[in-house]
Structure 1
Amino acid sequence: MKETELFIPVKELLLSQGFDVKGEIKDIDVLAYHKDMMIGVELKTKISLKLIYQAIDRQKVLDQVYIAVPKSAIYQSKSLYRNFTHLLKRLEVGLIVVDHETAEVIIEAVPFDRNKSRSRYKKRLENIDQEFKLRKNKQNIGGTRGKKITRYKELVIDIGSYLMKHQQASPKAIKESTGIEKAASILQKNYDGYFERVDRGIYQLTEKGKIEISSLKNQLQENK
């Protein structure tokens, strides 16, 4: 689909809402007037940073700014759609999607309510806050990819250290000694393959666990 093929569906949409519409006014693809409101629409066949720059630039002089793209450009993946639409909302830029000969407003160009947006992610904020406050080590280097010591990993190391000393133990004994409330869950889920159950309610370290727990402990000691 060409940019020019987006024009007629977008124009008809705006006309149906009572706007007077013209194309290519100065460097604005579509300009629409209704009473005292002036709206601009940028037509593009694909999403790009340049498109965002253009939309922001139009906001300097227009009441509202929209971008119009083909449906195929915005629905390539769920993550792309989610992240891109959130960005547009933050920037107060509207989104029009064109499917064949039909145009539809997906996002209105309205003021962004940051407090309302943040309230939807309270659990995520709580997890970040908890990770920061509970994590003991400060050895992780920002920008690192791959292995890093998280709060969860610290708990795994503490449980592993206890089992190194006592060979075998129950989740209850580990919890009482280390104070780790989620000891049973960590042992049972065993995401890293460090633990194994040797009897009902009794766990020990696997060979992998012995090697990697020792390595992690040394890593923490070296970086102190």
Structure 2
Amino acid sequence: MNETSLYAPVKLFLEGLGFAVKGEIGGCDMVGLRQGEPPVVVICELKLQFNLELVLQGVDRAAASDEVWLAARMSARGKGRESDARFRNLCRRLGFGLLGVTARDQVEVLLSPAALPPRKDPRRRSRLVDEHQRRRGDPAAGGSTRKPIMTAYRQEALACAAAMTEGPRRPRDLKPTMPNVVKILRRNVYGWFVRADHGVYDITDSGRAALLQWPQSTEGKTE
């Protein structure tokens, strides 16, 4: 069992509060946005048990969010940190909410986040909002640590690669549906593209392999 086992029930809980939730954005296990101008940003970090590392992650995330939630499995005998008054008081002073996930994946609110005004990091917050809004669907379960994260950039690069499976293409032909195509082709972060001619690009073998590795990630991207 790992942190990703907590993702689905906690996501469902946060969606019930009106947030659109996606996993693994900007190093955060979960980021939720609620409609507004600017949107309300909530960050939730996941651990299999409540511990100091989870609190420290929350401290790091506070400047980029309006609310921070910490979620972990409830201990089998009720003797974990969630029952420790000192732990709860620490989180209360920091303004963090605590969510306990039972063995049956029920989410219990152990502590609601306080409306404290944390020091904001506008640039970091903006990056989280941009990545959340650009990412298609929710392809990465929060808590993932051992496999590449399906970021918005990777999704866009895969869409470019898919568009070239039938032959070389010009960036200007792809730009109407892929606004970032020029930047993606020039940077070529993953080595998926090669210049076939002046102003014309083709897909490499590694690009074709990537399309086989993530076959669902290009559906509906080139319409």
How would you bin the TM-score normalised by the shorter chain?
0.3 to 0.5
Which has the larger helix fraction? 1
Q: Find the structure with the greater CA-based Rg.
A: 1
Q: What TM-score comes out, normalization by structure 1 length? A: 0.46
Q: Which has the higher contact order (CA 8 A, sep 6+)?
A: 2
Q: What TM-score comes out, normalization by structure 2 length? A: 0.46
